Amino acid sequence: MIDSHCHLDHEPMFGDLKNVIKRSKENGLEKILSICTTHESFKKIIEIVKFDPIIYGTFGIHPHETSSEKTTKNDIIKNVNSNDKIIAIGESGLDFYYNHSAKDEQITSFKSHIEASIELNVPIIVHSRNAEKETFEILNKYKNLKPKILMHCFTGSSEFAYKLLTLNSYFSASGIITFKNSIDLQKTFKLIPNDKLLIETDSPYLSPVPFRGKKNEPSFIKYTLEKLAQIKDSNAEKIEKITNYNFNSLFNLN
């Protein structure tokens, strides 16, 4: 299994990294992608990727942070190029639910991240909440440049998913698909083609059932995998092979 999105720089995982990675390996994880949200986050990620061969990282500024955390396309490129184990850009995008940052600041930052990802030909990991229309419109403007798009923790509508598929986007399922009230989301994931699916924990957040309400970690990803297999009328072994292949293909890893 591969956890395509977690935050190993966040507690309680960062302070217990040795045991977190030990449990991950014991539960069959072969790769973990630790996602950057701020400049301080990136400093920790640079150290974390040295900790174990299965850990990779990204550079990006979360939309919640764009008022206080400024970056440019050139800065993003420089940070990604600083280490071979930094394999993607993000998470970036738009979040109009909490309004932690002004919309125009989020949009400016998002565009810088997209343009950097296109120049480097690496995936951009996209966060989108209460911003389906704006997220698609911005990404669609770059369609001819063929950005590599991964919609992280996808919780959008089926209509949004269909639009994003016209951009050749990938979609990552989180523990939310295990929740009883996520029927519409489960139906959407049933419709998304298998060759566009990945899985993630978003740990330490969004623990899947049966750990809902507790701190999440990469070793819990098997519950999301099992639920996705059920949704796709398949089995966990087959969906594991598919999501592993999709991850390695998208991120250009063996």
CATH number of domain containing 211: 3.20.20.140
Helices 221-231, 183-191: crossing angle, 10 deg rounding: 70
Q: What is the pLDDT along the chain (254 residues), one digit of tens a residue?
A: 999 999 999 999 999 999 999 999 999 999 999 999 999 999 999 999 999 999 999 999 999 999 999 999 999 999 999 999 999 999 999 999 887 789 999 999 999 999 999 999 999 999 999 999 999 999 999 999 999 999 999 999 999 999 999 999 999 999 999 999 999 999 999 999 999 999 999 999 999 999 999 999 999 999 999 999 999 999 999 999 999 999 999 999 97
pLDDT at res. 99: 74
pLDDT recorded at residue 98: 82
Residue 119 lies in domain: 2-250
C-alpha distance from residue 194 to each of 22, 173, 204 (Å): 29, 12, 26
Per the DSSP assignment, residues forming a β-bridge with 59 are: 89
Query: CB 22: neighbour CB atoms within 10 A?
Result: 13
DSSP-derived secondary structure letter, 5? E
Residues 6+ apart with CB under 8 A from 195: 242, 246
User: Rounded to whole angstroms, how far apart are CA atoms 41 and 58?
Assistant: 10
pLDDT digit string, tens, across residues 223-245: 999 999 999 999 999 999 999 99
Single pTM value for the model: 0.96
CA–CA gap between residue 252 and residue 105 (Å, rounded): 31
pLDDT-above-90 percentage for the chain: 96
**Residues 6 or more apart whose Cβ sits within 8 Å of residue 150:** 4, 88, 90, 123, 124, 125, 126, 169, 170, 171, 172, 198, 250
- Domains in the chain: how many in total? 1
